[in-house]
Structure 1
């Protein structure tokens, strides 16, 4: 399995796994969970940038993103941070899913897939 690169080992997975020119970013949450939805989203986008850079790619090559939120009424604030982060020409396919619980004070979790 030498063509698989795994980075950011955690107890139950990796932050990212790369295979055949595609980088799969695992579920990321904010570090500062006292932040509001926009603040947590911005923290996650910064983490995505760092993970993608470690694999030699960037947000401009995002293919898809799946966003899990605990309160869909906060979606406009999440969308604000998302739109500020990405170029309109390079938006990925995206789904936003409402979930009951992501953990204490976690408002949002994001997974992503990017090309190299």
Structure 2
């Protein structure tokens, strides 16, 4: 069994690859920026990590999105809808949660095939 850890740190890895599946750590954007900017930051990081793992957004399996405030749902979706591959949308969930700091408005968790 092979497990590859990308950008490991003392607490977590940014991505873990196992059995042709890549699991990304929660991705957050620039602290203090508006939700659209933070969403784009997250999606850019997801693109980079998926590419490094040998995947891309057309192979998304599941996306979980946590918003600090559901009032930001439309603004987040405007950015997400422009990014997602409409021919290959992932299973998705979105909910409201208290994030690591009040400066974060959105966090994305992603699983994708390779």
Gaps spanning 5+ residues in structure 1: where? none
Give per-residue Cα distances to partners, 1:19-48, cap 9 Å, x unaligned: 000000011111x22321111000000000
Q: How does 1:1-116 map to 2 (within 5 A)?
A: 1=1, 3-30=2-29, 32-116=30-114
Cα RMSD (Å)? 1.1
CA distance in 2, matches of 1:20, 1:89: 24
TM-score by length of 1: 0.93
CA distance in 1, matches of 2:96, 2:9: 25
The aligned length equals 114
Q: Under a length normalisation based on structure 2, what TM-score does the superposition of the two structures give? A: 0.95
Runs of 4+ in structure 1 displaced over 6 angstroms? none
In structure 2, C-alpha distance between the alignment counterparts of 1:62 and 1:102, rounded to whole Å: 25
Do the aligned residues in 2 keep the contact of 1:70 with 1:102 (CA within 8 Å)?
A: no
- Tell me the distance in 2 between the aligned counterparts of 1:101 and 1:51: 21
Q: Deviations over 1:41-82 (max 9, x none)?
A: 000000000000001110110000111111001100100110
State the SS of the aligned residue for 2:25.
strand
Task: Provide the rounded CA distance (Å) in 2 between the counterparts of 1:81 and 1:35.
Answer: 14
